[in-house]
A and B are shown apart, each in its own frame.
Chain A
Amino acid sequence: MSYLKYLEAESIHIIREVVSETENPVMLYSIGKDSSVMLHLAKKAFYPGKIPFKILHVDTGWKFQEMYKFRDMVAKELSLDLIIYKNKSGFKNNINPFTFETSYYTKMMKTEALKQALKEGNFNAAFIGARRDEEKSRAKERIFSFRNSNHQWDYKNQRLELWNLFNTRINKNESIRIYPLSNWTELDIWEYIFRENIKVVPLYFSKSRRVVKRKDSIILIDDDRFVFQKGEKIEYDNIRFRTLGCYPLTSAVKSLSSNVKEIILEILSHENSERNGRLIDHDNPSSMEKKKIEGYF
């Protein structure tokens, strides 16, 4: 059995198991390539039926415009039962990535918003398209990650995971994050997208775009809310994104890869890992672990 088939089978098995054994699961949808693959797998798992759970997009209000357009198109095409959740008080207080500390912004608009959304929807099981090869502390997390009533991750007390048997029983006030793509790498994702012909946000493909260079990062000027720093000037460059998030916090890479095939070839020759483009992981070396302990994805 080829490894992509193996990974696909493993992921579908996990998704079906959660649907069979938990009462109210939800799938987090970030609009990125991993989410697109996860959604595709969910579709396959229940074909010819519809995806039997709600899809949740936690919206910070600062995603790329093309992401919003893509989200609405996918939702319509797959007739998704889509919930769009925003942290209302965060919006009211205009918490944004330009004037607030990145860590505070992320905590309020992502972590807190997610907690609120899960609570309001009474969801105690949430699928997330994160992969272990993205980051060191993710590499340590189980496929089924149990969180306490404050959604915190206790890495010293992770539940056993034996063979392909999953104990999905949830205690009162506990919830689970489920990572069906745990064992996929960036390259696997792209090869699968290629083979299965899965649509992704066009921002992954190179184009001449309006950008600003800031330290080692390349930031796209996505709308007129963009706040320039002293001395910054608008440039045009052929760029694309390896990961997508909030546009002011996501760095592009210089690239000429304008289709999936070229991206695969580019990854094969890459020197840097994928999360290099995520500015929020660079606060300090163990910042992701800290965020997880606080209840991050």
Chain B
Amino acid sequence: MKKNTFEEYLISREKLELLRFITCGSVDDGKSTLIGRMLNDINSIRKDELEALRAISKKSGTQKGNIDYALLLDGLTSEQEQGITIDVAYKYFSTEKRKFIVADTPGHEEYTRNMVTGSSVADLAVILIDVNKGISKQTLRHTNVCNFMGIKKIILAVNKMDLINYDMNTFLNIEKHYLSICKNLKFEAIQTIPVSAINGENISSKSKNMSWYKGPSIIDHLEKINISQNIENQFFLPIQLVNRPTSNFRGFSGLIASGNINKNEEIFVLPSGSKAKVKSILIGDKVKNNASFNENITLTLNKEISVSRGDLILSNINDVYVANQFEANIVWLSKDTGYVGREYILKLSTQTTAANITFIKYELDIENNKKLASKKATINNFYVVNLKTIKTIWFKKFHQNKTLGSFLLIDQLSNETVAGGTINHNLTRSTNLVYQNFLINKETRRIKNKHKSKVFWLTGLSGSGKSTIANFFEQFLHQKGVNSYILDGDNIRQGLNNDLGFTDEDRIENIRRVGEVAKLFVDAGIVTIVSFISPFKKDREMARRLFSTDEFVEVYVNTSLEVCEKRDVKGLYQKARAGLIPNFTGINSKYDIPSNPEITIDTEKKNLEEIIDLLYNYIK
């Protein structure tokens, strides 16, 4: 710092903008050297850090005892031992012109999840390649991940120029090739820079050996590139929490996703559609007349309307989609395979709802720019899919609004984040905010029938006695004058589901369809008996969530595998044991025992009358 007065210093800091960027590439391309050089050239490595770095470079470095900059960022023991980057490292530095947060991300495919994490909050990416290798599959992977995560600015650093005698034509060919690759991507600015990281050429100052290059050095470019984000100006405030410390203060808090808001302005609240005026704006403990993008505010309104977490305050009600189906790009990041129809938790801004993938349009092979057919989602791969949420949600296209267009998919049982996604467009027309209410509904039908309508979901191994129980129960209901219907696994598979097999993905779809059909029957006022093996807990839970709490009765028909196999009414176990039936539940496909069913029937101990009694209790 120049010896200005402290006040001048503070003013200059006040104006300082923050640029967050990532670096991608591998150690072999010279990535660590590049970062080390950058930090070193702008005096960002402290004395004790440098000493520690010298010591550890001697011990476990790869630079023949000289400073090994890789060790500056690879802070985990196993990273230093293996000479690889496992997870994102963040480093903080500033120049007189800008403040920077750099996320150093691992380059290898195996660590895509970590690169995705680092790139999601970056404004710019420095993609590094070795001029001798040119553009590799890894470069394509990095470029596509950046594009996917919404990064708009790229620096392609072409390293090791010293090894090819600073040849201009080699550089220009690579540049041309790279620009053609990026033609169909959504980048706003691409700067290609020839560098020699090891000699510090075109890193913080221009290289004399490459006078043919007229562009900026890396630091120069990082300091000057326009980073004012292309944010739309419509006002959106996703409500994070309701602040109600006393009975006379009711504030709605959140981070402004875009646009700005003034005191006394008229706003709408979704999903209710209510209208009100802004009474006051608080930023922290200060009262303000207006607030804008990325400020954390608390609003109060001029009248009492219902607002809760997950609602959206906006100035124009038509600025946003309100729907339950959309097309999205997703990146799958879990070892657990993702299936069409399986239910996940979707988190989009402050909204949380159950959702499922209804269709995988294709897998995007990002290393070869090809579209592949796919029926399931596997780790580190990218897909274009249709999604359906259980609740209607508000959202925007990702490229219009990052906050309103990006989401996570979370596994219901493990709570792992399994995928990240960005919305391309909605699939249904924006629904009216109020659902169409028909005059004759479930309640009126129930009154006419003089009985409740529910679903009894019978689950258990093949041959456990589900069909027998269903059959007797229905006869009993029939005599009592109760309207009923059996949805039986074998029967449905011959009609509605005759396109489905027995793979995991088809079983999930099988259950999803039966759940939806059962829901219609319950809506029609009918006691519905579902008799399906339904081996997976996740899918039974998915079916359960289609109903209100007292409408779904899970019945676990508990008959041991030995007994089922001994009975073997249809001769299926024998065939399965002989290897003639793949994916047979209990033999070579698993059955999740229900952990909390409403009814458990031990068929080896109870007789049919007792069982019918147990079931009937639920609709009396």
Contact = CB atoms under 8 A, between A and B. Distances in A.
Interface stretch (B112-120, B269-277, B484-492): B112-120
Contact of A167 (B18, B49, B116, B410): B410
A12 B296 contact: yes
Given A48-B245, A160-B417, A272-B48, A137 B75 contact: yes
A285 B48 contact: no
Given A160-B113, A160-B420, A47 B6 contact: no
Most buried by B among A135, A136, A265, A269: A136
Contact of B48 (A132, A261, A273): A273
A90 to B, nearest CB: 28
A163 B121 contact: yes
A56 to B, nearest CB: 22
A156 interface: yes
B550 interface: no
A206 to B, nearest CB: 17
Interface in A1-43: 1-6, 8-9, 12-13, 16-17, 19-20, 43
Contact of B241 (A19, A44, A140): A19
Contact of A1 (B56, B77, B243, B294): B294
B255 A163 contact: no
A222 interface: no
A94 interface: no
Nearest to B422: A163
Most buried by A among B16, B245, B249: B245
Contact of A165 (B56, B77, B347): B347
Given A13-B240, A140-B88, A270-B46, A164 B403 contact: yes
> For the complex, would chain B's binding face be called helix, strand, loop or mixed by DSSP majority?
mixed
Interface string B239-254: 0110111000101010
Contacts of B14: 2
A50 B101 CA distance: 33
Given A9-B296, A170-B415, A272 B120 contact: no
B75 A289 contact: yes
B599 interface: no
A169 interface: yes
A261 B282 contact: no
Contact of B407 (A155, A165, A169, A270): A165
B616 interface: no
Contacts of A261: 6
Contacts of A16: 240-241, 253, 296
B406 A271 contact: no
A133 interface: yes
B402 A163 contact: yes
A162 B402 CA distance: 11
B87 A155 contact: yes
A287 to B, nearest CB: 10
Contacts of B241: 16, 19-20
A167 B75 contact: no
Interface in B419-462: 420
Interface residues of B, number: 74
Given A2-B16, A155-B86, A183 B284 contact: no
Contacts of A231: none
B415 A167 contact: yes
Interface residues of A, number: 63
B225 interface: no
A286 B282 contact: no
Contacts of A140: 75-76, 87-89
Contacts of A6: 18, 294
Interface in B10-56: 10, 13-18, 46-49, 52, 55-56
Contacts of B88: 140
Interface string B202-246: 000000000000000000000000000000000000001101110
Contacts of A170: 415
B373 interface: no
A9 B345 CA distance: 26
Contacts of B48: 271-273, 276
Contacts of A152: none
Contact of A265 (B6, B73, B244): B6
Nearest to A46: B243
Nearest to A270: B46
B298 interface: yes
A171 interface: yes
A84 interface: no
A273 B49 contact: yes
Interface string A74-92: 0000000000000000000
Interface in A148-164: 155-156, 158-164
A194 B52 CA distance: 32
A46 B111 CA distance: 38
Given A3-B18, A139-B75, A273-B48, A132 B284 contact: no
A285 B285 contact: no
A20 B309 CA distance: 8
B313 to A, nearest CB: 15
A183 B101 contact: yes
Nearest to A169: B415
Interface string B459-479: 000000000000000000000
A45 B75 contact: no
Contacts of A132: 90, 92
A167 B417 contact: yes
A133 B45 CA distance: 12
A185 interface: yes
B245 A49 contact: yes
Nearest to A182: B90
A139 B89 contact: yes
Contacts of A12: 255, 284, 296
A203 to B, nearest CB: 21
Contacts of B243: 46, 48-49
B91 interface: yes
A191 interface: yes
A135 B6 CA distance: 29
A270 B50 CA distance: 13
Contacts of B114: 158
Contacts of B80: 286
Contact of A3 (B16, B285, B296, B408): B16
B513 interface: no
B333 interface: yes
B416 interface: yes
A185 B18 CA distance: 13
A134 B426 CA distance: 44
Interface of A: 1-6, 8-9, 12-13, 16-17, 19-20, 43-50, 132-133, 135-137, 139-140, 142, 155-156, 158-165, 167, 169-171, 182-183, 185, 191, 194-195, 261, 264-265, 268-273, 276, 285-286, 289
29 contacts: A1-B293, A1-B294, A2-B15, A6-B18, A6-B294, A8-B284, A9-B255, A9-B295, A12-B255, A12-B296, A44-B284, A46-B243, A48-B245, A49-B244, A132-B92, A136-B73, A136-B76, A137-B75, A142-B117, A155-B86, A160-B117, A160-B408, A161-B117, A162-B417, A165-B348, A183-B92, A272-B46, A272-B48, A289-B77
Interface of B: 1, 6, 9-10, 13-18, 46-49, 52, 55-56, 73, 75-78, 80, 86-92, 99, 101, 113-114, 116-117, 120-121, 149, 240-241, 243-245, 249, 251, 253, 255, 282, 284-285, 293-296, 298, 309, 333, 345, 347-350, 402-403, 406-408, 410, 414-417, 420
Given A273-B49, A289-B76, 8 more contacts: A2-B13, A2-B14, A12-B284, A45-B253, A139-B75, A155-B86, A167-B415, A171-B414
Which 7 interchain pairs have the tightest Cβ spacing? A136-B75, A49-B245, A44-B284, A3-B18, A271-B47, A169-B415, A273-B46
